[in-house]
Amino acid sequence: MLVGLGLMLAEYLFHRLNHDDSHDVRETGASLAIALGHKLTAASTAGIAAVPVMAVYRHRLFDIPLNSGWIWLALFLAVEFCYYWHHVAMHKVRWFWATHSVHHSPTKLNLSAGVRLGWGGHLTGGFLFYLPLVALGFNPAAVFGMLSFGLVYQFFLHLAHPPRLGPLEWMLNTPRHHQVHHASNAACLDKNYGAVLIIYDRLFGTFASAPKDEPLRFGLAGLAPSANPVDIVVATWLRMFSDMLRARGPAAKLRALLTPPG
């Protein structure tokens, strides 16, 4: 955590000294407050997610020994695959989007945006996307440890001014690719879902490069920016539940939770 704060401060000071408008102090402050809330809620709810995970692991199909580089490579690719579809769901299903939208709310993309994460993700069921690997026989600590590695990697995807990485950009998710993912331009919506790799986006047709004829815009379409951490965290949840309450009949109420946002 201290390393991340140091890197955020270094990035801010570097761009400040160069008179670059890549940071907003109030927005960064909100991101840090949200990050603290995320840490607290994640720590307090991790045990809830652990119960079904361990129940599935007790009934696993195989015991997969993590005793070779090939097995670790297979696990890495499998976790990347599961994360890709989890990330797709976070954009296509309002129930998941309500939490994930917090991460897309900054109007300035920089390292502080990388720690702006919604609260209570364990409670919304994101861990379900990784249960097939646990059921197959991968140790849960290895599965979620590999997932954590990908999330740490993604912190560095939020650089304010992404470098060009040449041929690596064909295979890896890079800061340039992730800027497209965060952009609210029509050509960028629902693109570049990968964690460490971008190959699944290329395979499933969700890869996009930045449009050449318009600047990238960040923030949530149709929702005014806010510097209040609580407002940012709950805004999309309130809109979703408001729509659900107004909906008539169980089927309509379910659609309000499960249909794509917007």
Per-residue pLDDT at 214: 93
Tokens, residue 147:
């997932």
Q: Which residue has the higher pLDDT, 221 or 35?
A: 35
The mean pLDDT of 61-71, rounded to a whole number, is: 96
Asked if the model's pLDDT at residue 1 lies above 80, the reply is no
Tens-place pLDDT, residues 190-213: 999 999 999 999 999 999 999 999
Asked if the model's pLDDT at residue 183 lies above 80, the reply is yes
Task: Give the SS3 label for residue 1.
Answer: coil
Per-residue pLDDT at 47: 87
Q: CA–CA separation, 45 vs 52, rounded Å?
A: 13
Per-residue pLDDT at 121: 80
CA nearest to 56, candidates 160, 129, 105, 155: 129
Tens-place pLDDT, residues 13-27: 988 888 788 899 999
Per-residue pLDDT at 225: 86
Mean pLDDT of the chain: 94
State the pLDDT confidence band at 12, using cuts at 50, 70 and 90.
confident
Per-residue pLDDT at 120: 84
Asked if the model's pLDDT at residue 2 lies above 90, the reply is no
Q: CA–CA separation, 208 vs 4, rounded Å?
A: 28
Task: Give the SS3 label for residue 188.
Answer: helix
What predicted TM-score, i.e. pTM, was given to this entire model? 0.94
Contact 122, 48 (CB under 8 A): yes
Distance of CA 180 to the CA centre of its chain: 14
